[in-house]
Structure 1
Amino acid sequence: MRILVAGGERVDAGKTTFTTGLLSRLGAVGFKPRAGNDYWFDHDDYRHAVSEGRLYGKDAKRLADASSTACDADFDPEDLNAVHRLWRPSPGPDTGLVGQARRQFVLDRVGESFVVNARADVPESARKALPLADAPAVESVAQLDEITRQLHLPMFEGFAERVRELQRETGGTAVVESYGDVALPIRGLSFDAVAVVEPGRMRAYDGERFLKACEVAGGSAREGRLEVHTDDVTDLADPKATARLPALPSEDRRDPAAVARAYADAFGELLAVTEA
């Protein structure tokens, strides 16, 4: 069984809390193909990772910890997160290489490789801790697109196979978490059900119909957009079930087993969709 968790809001939708609880409920492995954090707003998380000569975020760390407990295994964040992007604030109207106003793409970790934005202010701590000396530096959208074709896309193709491989090894369920309000974080995988999560509510969709709606919303793979937002997809598909998600205190949000208990009804509705 394979389940996708997508967000109905761009930030703070509650995807990772929901996903960790689902991992506890199912004894499953959780994956986050794409992730990112901000040098300014997530500085403690950034410092902790680079102090180890690594780059990952708190969401991937939470998934790795929850997966390790659920499956009695040992996962690192990088095992479950193919690409991590570091951002930093960028005052002013310039949207930079990736079209984000007031937000600057600094560098990407793509598997064990790195890509640097030549126009960004790369933190000295990153230059010292990470192997950036030989990393390709991009100065234009065209260069970034070419690097994406060379590095990112093959990484995602291999990562889809890694999801399937780990499922075969564990004989269990995989839960794939998206990022922001992007409907589909990786191609090449089918899903039995999709949970769209937002504060206070989960909507459960048939996996095949949700993927078809992604195709319609985004156009063809050749001509369409690389990213399709969740609300564009949910406008085209009807949920099979809807469930309330109660507000949780911070100590419960950090405990996957507590989340599994609090969200038991919602998880039951979601799993019923996989069996329909």
Structure 2
Amino acid sequence: MIFLVAGADRVDAGKTTFSVGLLERVGGAGYKPRAGNDFWFDHDDCRRALADGRLYGKDAARLAAAEGRGREPEALNPVHRLWQPAPDGGTGLLGRSDREFVVDRIGRPGEETYVVNATADLPAAVEERLPLGAADAVETVDELNAAVERRHAPALDALAAEVEAADLAVVESYGDVARPLRSLDPARVAAVAVVEPRRARIYRGDRYWRACEVARSSPQDGRLEKRVPDVIDYLDPVARVPLPPLGSDDRRDPERVARAYADAYDAMLEVAGR
């Protein structure tokens, strides 16, 4: 059984906090198939990971802690992208005027590979701490897309197979991407929560997946993706549940989150038939 948590807002929708509380409520394994952070805006998190020669973000770390299985964040998150600001503008490789892709980590502990943006000036800490000697260096969108097909896609397909084999899995999406793992069997997705500040909307998994099939695709981080706002235009939620604001201490405590968001989790479990 799979519970999917997606965000209606591209940034700060509250997906990770919601997912952490859901893991506390239902147990199971947590997954964040794709993630990203910024060397400037998330510098403390980057320094912490790079100090150990690693690349991961706080979302995957929070999920790993919440599931309580002793797994490293990279085990939950096979694709992580590091960004940095581009103060002089320009579109870089991914059509963004405000930031540029720096490096991707692909794979889980012991099997990591890297793709590097050869048109960007890599931060010294990234060059010094990550094993980039055998990394794919890309200079064009076509080269990046080829690397995604060669490296990213197999890593995500392998994760999808693991998620489907789990007795119960909580999968958190990335940004406002509707389907973080497109190869998942829709029949295994029991319920979907679309989270945004102040509320969660709960959907049946099969209906949400069918809406994903007919929704238009939009550019996101260099790829055409199904976006949550486009998908939910095609279906009504089973439930709309208010989410109370939480202070930082509450957000850090999975038990407090589980209590605060209990009504939303009750609605997901009812949709899933549990």
1:11-70 CA-to-partner distances (Å, cap 9, x unmatched) read 1100000000000000121100000000000000000000011000000000000011xx
1:240-259 CA-to-partner distances (Å, cap 9, x unmatched) read 11100001111010001110
Determine the C-alpha separation between the residues in 2 that align with 1:65 and 1:88.
Answer: 27
Q: Which residue of 2 aligns with 1:103?
A: 99
Q: Which moved more, 1:264-273 or 1:156-165?
A: 156-165
Give the secondary structure class of the aligned counterpart of 1:16.
Answer: helix
User: Alpha-carbon deviation of 1:237?
Assistant: 1.2
Runs (4 or more) in structure 1 with deviation over 3 Å come to: none
Q: Which residue of 1 aligns with 2:220?
A: none
Note the 1:222-237 alignment, pairs <5 A: 226-237=224-235
Q: Does 1:259 align with 2:254?
A: no
Q: Which residue of 2 aligns with 1:40?
A: 40
Gaps of 5+ in 2: 218-222
Does the 8 Å CA contact 2:3/2:169 hold for their aligned counterparts? yes
Residue 210 of structure 1, aligned match among 183, 197, 208: 208
Residue 245 of structure 1, aligned match among 238, 243, 246: 243
Q: Does 1:275 align with 2:270?
A: no
Give the secondary structure class of the aligned counterpart of 2:84.
Answer: strand
Q: Which residue of 2 aligns with 1:183?
A: 178
Q: Does 1:197 align with 2:195?
A: yes
Gaps of 5+ in 1: 220-224
Cα-Cα RMSD: 1.2
Q: TM-score, normalised by structure 2?
A: 0.93
Determine the C-alpha separation between the residues in 2 that align with 1:162 and 1:127.
Answer: 32
Which amino acid in the other structure matches residue 121 of structure 1?
D
Q: Which residue of 2 aligns with 1:15?
A: 15
Q: If each structure's strand is expressed as a fraction of its own residues, which one has the higher value?
A: 2
Which amino acid in the other structure matches residue 77 of structure 2?
N
Note the 1:10-89 alignment, pairs <5 A: 10-68=10-68, 73-89=69-85
Which amino acid in the other structure matches residue 78 of structure 1?
E
Does the 8 Å CA contact 1:204/1:242 hold for their aligned counterparts? yes
Does the 8 Å CA contact 2:2/2:164 hold for their aligned counterparts? no
Which amino acid in the other structure matches residue 96 of structure 1?
G
User: Alpha-carbon deviation of 1:186?
Assistant: 1.0
Q: Which residue of 2 aligns with 1:90?
A: 86
Matched-pair identity in %: 56
